[in-house]
Chain A
Amino acid sequence: MDRNATQYLIVGGSAAGMAAAHTIRSHDPMAPVTVLTDETDKPYFRPMIPFVVSGKKKSQDMAMEGCGPYVGKDIFVKTDSRVVSVDTDSHRVFLENNQVFNYGKILFATGSRPFIPPDIKGTESNGVFALRTLAHARKMNARAAQTQHAVLLGGGLLNLKAAFALLERGIKVTLVVYSPQVLSQLMDAEDAVLIRNALDDAGLEIRTGTAAVEIESDNSGVRGIVLDDHTKISCQMVCIGKGVRPNVEFLENSKIKLEKGIVADIHTACSQSDTFAAGDVAVTHDPVSGKPVMTALWTNAVEMGRCAGLNMAGLPTAYAGTFGILNATQIANMPFVSMGLVHTKDLDCEIFRSGGQGSFRKMVFSSDGRHLIGMVLIGDISNAGLYRHVIQGKKLVEKFKHHIIGHNLHWGHFIK
């Protein structure tokens, strides 16, 4: 049995883990920082993996080391290192490969994994993917070479990106969405019309209000898929994008408090001394609603990872909480931003919608109209960061509310 010791041990080598590692390094130049990742790849920018599917970029193009803020020196990253259990009393972790690590302080940043609905038959067939890791992306890329038609289950952002990666390769893509509209996590159905139109124009076939029942396969892999309305689609690839679940199983026999994810306090600390959690796996609080949330967002994971890094390095820092929804992207040449409270169907709030040729916006204010609590911008997303600043800072909007509604807010409006 190999024994190792490190002052800072980080379990998980993606956004939260690496942000924490580099933050620790910038405040503690000497102490050993070790990152354990169960992937075979060195840390990379996970949101970039659809480019590997499309073939536009290579694995090495998305490596994290030396890019952006990830420039800290002497961070030891061990790949192929899966942690199977943790003993917080003796400050030790046990790996699948029988190695043992002693730590001073530990961060759990194990992220999440795709949820595979158990009620769909045949999900273990060759050619069924849930795009999460670079390794998945490479396999999907290889399978795409023998695919004429792909069916994607779920209408979230990841599946839309995967859909476009496949479309770019000339593959016919059908998106099967159980919700009444795509991107139902990020906006109400009636607000997604522009995006839906853009997706239709781009040649994506979308079936809403339906779910998959069974994936059919033979020895060459996936052959087709059966939907709950008994229609059958012939296809050679299926991609499942039905949300994620936190990777907490390795802590089930530990003393760490779990509530679906790992419970983290305002200083990102867990229930045992010298333990911290950040990223997709951590349960934190939404600054708008105050409710416990787990988010699976790169930007949030980095922010929380940095906060955990500061706390671990001995600089007590409160985590300001995060939006459950905080997304910007561009699909089918249509940029959009969605943040804060955007599902307003049963919400007591004040809403201003406005749309024109190729653009749409929805501004959501609290019921008393004094705070901005959410917004959706489609098309013209300029200055979106200012609205984030207003929402997160819980600013009284009185003086510049008409600028928010008119979407012409600028920093000058905040200067006294």
Chain B
Amino acid sequence: MPQPKEIFVKTDRCVGCMSCMLACAVEHSQSKTLFGAIAEARAPKSRLYVEWAAPDRKIPLVCRQCEDAPCMHACISGAITRNEDNIVVTNADKCIGCWTCVMVCPYGVIGRNMDTGKAYRCDRCPDREIPACVSACPTGALIYETVPEYSKSIRKQASQEFARAEGE
């Protein structure tokens, strides 16, 4: 089985432009275009959230696809499953809007759609090669790689910084 890719977040690179949120909402709209999305009766919703913390840090929060997903185990209607791509998905037909998943998600990344009475969450953009938020990020704060790829890049970066410091 090939290594699955994950969305990694580099908080030091985020400038809080919220391009990811916009792209996410557009990708999950009916029309999948920005202008079409704006015109839709029910405003499409982003499934990730850029938060701010003092003194001035921007933190993009996105579903971590927990291995032991608390939301999936807590769900009282069997609406949350892990699909064949290992992605935790919420089946809106089965969701009854009891918000138990919201109560147990430690990251606060499950949204409540008050129009439909259903919970919604990151689905890793099943129609796309690269999730919309990652594609849209202009600063490389969101990265879509396998764990070995990502840790290799971190090691490389660390060794470069180390070498530079040595050279000074």
Contacts and interface: CB of A to CB of B under 8 A. Distances in A.
B78 A19 contact: no
Interface of B: 11, 49, 51-53, 57, 59, 61, 70, 72-82, 94, 96-100, 102-108, 110, 112, 117
A204 interface: no
B11 to A, nearest CB: 7
A69 B73 CA distance: 6
7 contacts: A68-B78, A69-B72, A70-B78, A328-B102, A381-B102, A410-B51, A415-B59
A54 B73 CA distance: 26
A412 B78 contact: no
Interface stretch (A131-139, A182-190, A237-245, A384-392): A384-392
A303 B108 contact: no
A326 B103 contact: yes
Interface of A: 19, 45, 47-48, 51, 62, 64, 67-71, 298-299, 302-303, 306, 326-330, 335, 337, 339, 381-386, 388-389, 410-413, 415
Contacts of A306: 73
B51 A328 contact: no
Contacts of A327: 103
Contacts of B11: 412, 415
Contact of B103 (A19, A70, A339): A339
A297 B73 CA distance: 13
Contacts of A329: 98-100
Contacts of B94: 67
A132 B95 CA distance: 21
Given A385-B104, A388-B104, 10 more contacts: A45-B78, A62-B78, A69-B82, A298-B74, A298-B100, A299-B73, A306-B73, A328-B103, A382-B112, A383-B102
A385 B81 contact: no
A246 B38 CA distance: 54
Contact of A411 (B51, B72, B96): B51
Contacts of A19: 73
Contacts of A382: 102, 108, 112
Most interface-central of A335, A412, A415 (chain B CB within 10 A): A412
Contact of A299 (B51, B57, B74, B108): B74
A411 B106 contact: yes
Nearest to A48: B77
Given A411-B108, A412-B57, A415-B11, A385 B102 contact: yes
